[in-house]
A = this chain, B = another copy of it.
């Protein structure tokens, strides 16, 4: 394996001190343009790149941000990751990727690992740890952004990005009602999910605004998968065959619902209107194409990283709470 050239190799060849090389590499003043250029040339010629490790030890900054998410294989998160990585690249940061599989132990291990690696900032997507367990890390990390998670108090170096699920759900119910639907079911995620909770509140508000009674038997808590959506709707139909609209936790669930409708001989959207959430690529590819609450996932990731960068350079960020408005996309399923 090739041995990396070090700063002293450059200094020796250029016949200058280590400091001059350091200054040249970091564009610091205190060098004649002439020697600066000469050093740069030699460094380039030697293929010298300052060791990030040594630099990090000296400066206590790693130029690395940690990206923690339940599962990068899910399109919702992979698109966030793409946005975050792009922003990191633009700002000269590296990104550590860690999956938690929604396992609290693994999430804790992830945070400890990030701390051990002295990352400059952390982006935590849908964390499952309690606020209490999370809090210590806010003090350990120079900056943290929480995605899809609220923070009761205000902490100087912590920002949050959340989707306005509440308003989104309200809009969906209103749309259903305006189109003559009356038995509106809701298949939501686990009761512990913040998104679920917010959606549920919006759903109830929407119902109330339309003078429709809230019927608990029309609500199903399920894991956010296609199979679960399929099964949930079968359950709903057996209990309440007159269901004429279904709002789903996300698009994956909605696809399962559409399939269940077809299986049971119901036409979408004539007999049953279906609306999902997130607008993953699949949504526009399936038939009937899925109406959904579009969320700009790339933008969330990109913004999450920008927030980190800004928290890092500017301690006084006034707007540390971002609320993303989903856009209601009407396609064929409703």
Interface residues of A (CB under 8 A from B): 1-2, 4, 49-54, 56-57, 62, 67, 71-75, 78-79, 81-82, 85-86, 89, 94-99, 106, 112-113, 115-118, 139-142, 157, 226, 255, 262, 281-282, 285-287, 298
A-B contact pairs, 29 of them (CB 8 A): A1-B142, A2-B140, A4-B118, A49-B115, A49-B116, A50-B116, A51-B116, A52-B116, A52-B117, A53-B57, A53-B62, A54-B57, A57-B57, A67-B97, A72-B81, A72-B85, A73-B81, A85-B98, A94-B96, A94-B117, A95-B96, A95-B97, A95-B98, A96-B96, A226-B285, A282-B282, A285-B286, A286-B286, A287-B287
Interface centre among A67, A85, A142, A157 (most CB of B within 10 A): A85
Partner of A118 from B53, B95, B115 at Cβ < 8 Å:
B53
List of B residues within 8 angstroms of A53 by Cβ: 53, 56-57, 62, 117-118
Query: Please, which residue of chain B has its CB at the minimum distance from the CB of A92?
Result: B113
Copies in the complex: 2
Cα–Cα distance between A74 and B298 once the two chains are bound (Å) = 12
Cα–Cα distance between A96 and B115 once the two chains are bound (Å) = 16
**A51→B2 contact, CB < 8 A:** no
List of B residues within 8 angstroms of A75 by Cβ: 73, 75, 78
Cα–Cα distance between A68 and B187 once the two chains are bound (Å) = 38
**A81→B97 contact, CB < 8 A:** yes
How many Å from the CB of A88 to the closest CB on chain B?
Answer: 9
Partner of A157 from B1, B54, B67, B94 at Cβ < 8 Å:
B1
List of B residues within 8 angstroms of A1 by Cβ: 139-142, 157
List of B residues within 8 angstroms of A96 by Cβ: 94-97
Cα–Cα distance between A116 and B54 once the two chains are bound (Å) = 10
Cα–Cα distance between A50 and B118 once the two chains are bound (Å) = 10
List of B residues within 8 angstroms of A79 by Cβ: 73
Query: Please, which residue of chain B has its CB at the minimum distance from the CB of A98?
Result: B85
How many Å from the CB of A20 to the closest CB on chain B?
Answer: 20
List of B residues within 8 angstroms of A98 by Cβ: 85, 89, 94-95
Cα–Cα distance between A37 and B203 once the two chains are bound (Å) = 55
